[in-house]
Amino acid sequence: MTQLLSVSNLRVGFGRKPEDNEIVHGVSFDLAAGETLAIVGESGSGKSVTALSVNRLVDFGGGRILDGSIQFTRENGSTLDLAAAGEQELTKIRGGEIGMIFQEPMTSLNPVLTIGEQIEESFRLHRGLTGKQAREAAKDALDRVRIPDAARRLKYCPHQLSGGMLQRVMIATALSCNPRLLIADEPTTALDVTVQAQIMALLAELKRETGMGMIFITHDIGLVAGIADKVMVMQNGEAVEQGPLDAVLDAPQHPYTKHLLSAVPHFEAGRATRTDYRRADAPSAAPALKVEGLTVRFPVTGGLLRRQTGAVHAVDGVDFDLMPGETLGIVGESGSGKSTTARAILGLVEPTRGTFSANTNGAARQSGKPVQMVFQNPYASLNPRLRVDSILAEPVMAAGGELNGETHARMRMLLDRVGLPENALQRYPHEFSGGQRQRLCIARALMLNPSVVVLDEAVSALDVSVQAKVLELLVDLQREFGLAYLFVSHDMAVVERIAHRIAVVYAGQIVEIGDAASVLSDPKHAYTKRLISAVPSVDRRKETFEVDTRQVPSLVRPLGFEPEPANWQSFGPDHMARAEA
């Protein structure tokens, strides 16, 4: 293999005095043509700055390369030091020989131009194509990234395409001039897991076709297993470990790499599920929450008179029940209706139809709402102007309770249970870290001694190591208070660790429900299979994901549309899947 890029002792600083504010401290790596280097690290580790230094986009962010060289082998075989190259040369190389994909496809495209115009621009600039030729080339580029019906999509504006489609458009643009090096900066972080798998598959396939080198930046060490040849782990601006993929993942040398590998929950296809609760052991207990035929529809209006022309079927006939002490994981992609289900149960959205009954579970429960919720974002779900004691008192006051010694005792008890000091009561939310705030939210949800707690992506916004601790806390609290959890998440690895049962939601309907181990190890519905095969994992090395261009069906239905009643097929004692048409 021929050498493509050789970076040695790269140092980058920011600000007016870049020497005093060094972000990247002497990073070196090599990349051959056709190879993929994954740069892994947490936010702030300097991984993006390192990659942006290669095409010198870092200059536009206020950065300066202080030292080191970036030897890039050009198409004609000559080498060029990018660290010292002038802006004119760089303009030719950017887009022409080095392509780039960004994290957020929604904001990387101009919303007022059609995607056709934006791809054509690249062909016009770098290849000198005009008019019809450029249009043809743009269509070919979209075909290449497997966008179905490419000729028609060229006339679409960015808002008419989904996130996955837009990321494909970005890749098409980046590849328009057959770059020899592609820099991908967290290209799938903003996307759903099945879409992420599609993009990863596409990148792997394109790399094979074109023989380009790739630098792939990610914070998710599970993701690199499928695509990278070499891995570089960065921490605080230094490359703490680098080497071939297998060596780094199987025999990590540096403690930070070990920490990264152990902190991330790995998806183990049903082998890591909890075994502390079985439905069969408590067959006669009354369910803590029973949901029947829950339906949420939002009207769609159109025409001159704004008459209702249809409805978005956000949740369509969802049934499940939840036993005390049990966790039901609800998994699905964004827009599948999993959060709407949770919000409808809490009364935040008005359900169109359906009943749900929550069991208060004996006289010991305080009056109040038996279902409580913990939200995704701990920074937004606490009023910044209220002290913690007021925050914790709110549910009690709302339930008509009084602020007496008993309430204070419960506050202190719960703070202690969630692992916060007693003096936290006199402090404000901004004095706590994200993980601590989420603990506060959990304590607040438990103030009324609920029987069911709805956790809507409750750990998704936390760092991986904090995530693990909060999950542990949730499991402990569940045992202690006999809580039933409704755990809504898109993260299969997290759900695997906390759920006893799993419901898979797709397009507003439950397509498969059952015992967690059984659903994850032996999925029956086609969508569940797709979802599970898309989860990246350290164990899934060099796995070739299948390029799949199916889109989620539209949830907008004409007025009066009713879905056909579900036809359930049973697979074992506690495992059902919807029969497919």
Span between the terminal Cα atoms of the chain, in Å: 49
> CB-based contacts of 65: which residues, under 8 Å, 6+ apart?
10, 11, 12, 53, 56, 58, 83
Q: What residues between 334 and 363 interact with another protein by CB under 8 A?
A: 343, 346-348
Provide the minimum distance between the beta carbon of 430 and another protein in the complex, in angstroms, as a whole number.
9
Provide the minimum distance between the beta carbon of 386 and another protein in the complex, in angstroms, as a whole number.
7
Provide the minimum distance between the beta carbon of 346 and another protein in the complex, in angstroms, as a whole number.
5
**How many other C-beta atoms can be found within 10 angstroms of the C-beta atom of residue 286?**
11
CA 510 to each of CA 291, 454, 569: distance values in angstroms, whole numbers, following the listed order: 12, 17, 13
Size of site (CB under 8 A) for another protein:
28
> CB-based contacts of 417: which residues, under 8 Å, 6+ apart?
443, 446, 477, 480
Provide the minimum distance between the beta carbon of 382 and another protein in the complex, in angstroms, as a whole number.
6
> CB-based contacts of 376: which residues, under 8 Å, 6+ apart?
456, 457, 458, 460, 461
Q: Decide if residue 238 touches another protein (CB under 8 A).
A: no
Residue (399 or 403) nearer to another protein, CB: 399
Question: Using CA of residue 546, residue 213, residue 151, residue 115, what is the dihedral sign?
Answer: positive
Pick the stretch among 79-87, 371-379, 409-417, 492-500 that binds another protein (CB under 8 A). 371-379
Q: x/- binding map, residues 439-468, to another protein, per CB under 8 A? A: --x--x---x--------------------
Provide the minimum distance between the beta carbon of 395 and another protein in the complex, in angstroms, as a whole number.
4
Question: Is residue 430 classed exposed, middle or buried when 0-12, 13-18 and 19+ CB atoms within 10 A define those classes?
Answer: exposed
> CB-based contacts of 32: which residues, under 8 Å, 6+ apart?
1, 2, 3, 4, 213
Residue (397 or 559) nearer to another protein, CB: 397
Residue (86 or 400) nearer to another protein, CB: 400
Q: Decide if residue 320 touches another protein (CB under 8 A).
A: no
Q: What residues between 383 and 412 interact with another protein by CB under 8 A?
A: 383-386, 390, 394-395, 397-399
Pick the stretch among 225-233, 275-283, 319-327, 378-386 that binds another protein (CB under 8 A). 378-386
Q: Decide if residue 375 touches another protein (CB under 8 A).
A: yes
Residue (233 or 396) nearer to another protein, CB: 396
Give the residue among 164, 178, 264, 175 at the shortest CA–CA distance from 219: 264
DSSP, res 470 = H
Q: What residues between 422 and 441 interact with another protein by CB under 8 A?
A: 441
CA 397 to each of CA 93, 366, 371, 403: distance values in angstroms, whole numbers, following the listed order: 64, 12, 16, 7
Provide the minimum distance between the beta carbon of 302 and another protein in the complex, in angstroms, as a whole number.
19
Pick the stretch among 29-37, 108-116, 260-268, 368-376 that binds another protein (CB under 8 A). 368-376
Residue 305 in tokens: 């008179």
Residue (258 or 430) nearer to another protein, CB: 430
Distance (Å, whole) CA 39 – CA 165:
25
Distance (Å, whole) CA 391 – CA 383:
8
Q: Decide if residue 213 touches another protein (CB under 8 A).
A: no
Pick the stretch among 17-25, 126-134, 187-195, 369-377 that binds another protein (CB under 8 A). 369-377
Residue 55 in tokens: 């095409």
Residue (176 or 381) nearer to another protein, CB: 381
Provide the minimum distance between the beta carbon of 25 and another protein in the complex, in angstroms, as a whole number.
27
**Binding positions for another protein, rule: CB under 8 A:** 343, 346-348, 368-369, 371-373, 375-377, 380-386, 390, 394-395, 397-399, 441, 444, 448
